């Protein structure tokens, strides 16, 4: 099990899924918005959890992490769900400006370490392990028809369907300068995929 020190102003929760949650008392998590994911190699996972937890503690931010090494190994295995793989830590910003600050700080803190790409997310600038997506932070408690819908300020609705590629609701724009342009990585333009032999989280078709 990944170990973190207790913090008096945080509530620690574990439930039937794979995560351990650390909720800051009186920290209001938006129902939907930008959320940050941190990936890691298996060997660096405990170190990265400790670094990010201490950062969140110091800056009063709620977060969660995969509960233990066995669960994270399963999460990044070749047979794992590609849309959920690699998400060792999830951090809950309160708004767009807050998200940018957290991602910039985490990129610096983790600059010597790398993790697998998180396919459902956008990669933050030139970071090797900081990713983000727009989506639900929690489902509605009353399980109404909109439980898993994103809802715009005008009442537009869109299911928060997590796919192995980043996708934004139509009313949300990708913030400027959060990602590198494709032209910043010309190597990708050399390849023209024409078929998928087999979907595999390990990235290999057989």
Confidence of residue 142 (pLDDT cuts 50, 70, 90): low
Q: What confidence score (pLDDT) does residue 89 get?
A: 97
Place of tokens 């298996």: 42
- What's the pLDDT score for residue 202? 62
Dist CA 199 CA 206 (whole Å): 9
Q: Is 33 left (phi over 0), alpha (psi -120 to 50) or beta?
A: left
Domains along the sequence of the chain with CATH: 10-190 (3.30.2430)
The whole-number pLDDT of residue 147 equals: 77
Query: For residue 165, what are the CA distances in angstroms to 36, 168, 184?
Result: 15, 10, 19
Nearest to residue 134, comparing CAs of 89, 82, 172, 179? 172
Q: Do the bridges between strand 149-151 and strand 157-159 make them parallel or antiparallel, or are there none, so unpaired?
A: antiparallel
Which tops the pLDDT comparison, 201 or 84?
84
Q: What is the pTM for the complete model shown? A: 0.88
Q: Bigger pLDDT: 126 or 189?
A: 126
| pLDDT exceeds cutoff 90 at 123 | yes
Block residue for tokens 């796919």: 163
Q: What distance in Å separates the CA atoms of residue 100 and residue 127, rounded to the nearest whole number?
A: 13
Rounded to the nearest 10 degrees, how much is the dihedral formed by the CA atoms of 158, 133, 50, 10?
-40
Asked if pLDDT for residue 4 goes beyond 70, the answer is: yes
Q: What percent of the chain has pLDDT over 70?
A: 85
Q: What is the pLDDT of residue 42?
A: 95
| Structure confidence by residue, pLDDT tens digits, 146-187 | 678 999 999 999 999 899 999 999 999 999 899 987 554 556
Question: How large is the average pLDDT for residues 26-35?
Answer: 92
Q: Percentage of the chain surpassing pLDDT 90?
A: 68
Over residues 63-119, the pLDDT tens digits come to 999 999 999 999 999 888 898 999 999 999 999 999 999 999 999 999 999 999 999
Given a cut of 60, whether residue 143 has pLDDT beyond it is no
């Amino acid at each position: 099990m990944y170990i973190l020190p207790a913090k008096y102003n945080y509530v620690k929760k574990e439930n039937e899924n794979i995560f351990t949650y650390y909720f800051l008392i009186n920290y209001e998590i938006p129902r939907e918005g930008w959320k940050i994911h941190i990936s890691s190699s298996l060997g660096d996972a405990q170190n990265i959890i400790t670094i990010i937890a201490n950062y969140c503690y110091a800056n009063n931010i709620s977060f969660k992490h995969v509960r233990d090494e066995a669960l994270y190994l399963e999460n990044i295995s070749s047979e794992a769900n590609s849309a959920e793989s690699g998400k060792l830590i999830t951090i809950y910003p309160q708004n767009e400006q807050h998200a940018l600050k957290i991602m910039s700080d985490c990129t610096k803190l983790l600059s010597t370490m790398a993790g697998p790409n998180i396919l459902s997310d956008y990669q933050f600038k030139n970071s090797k392990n900081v990713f983000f997506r727009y989506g639900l932070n929690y489902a509605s408690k009353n399980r109404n028809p909109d439980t898993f819908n994103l809802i715009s300020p005008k009442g537009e609705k869109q299911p928060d369907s997590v796919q192995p590629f980043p996708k934004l609701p139509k009313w949300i724009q990708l913030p400027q300068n959060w990602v590198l342009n494709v032209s910043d990585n010309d190597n990708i333009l050399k390849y023209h995929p024409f078929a998928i032999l087999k979907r595999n989280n390990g990235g290999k078709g057989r």
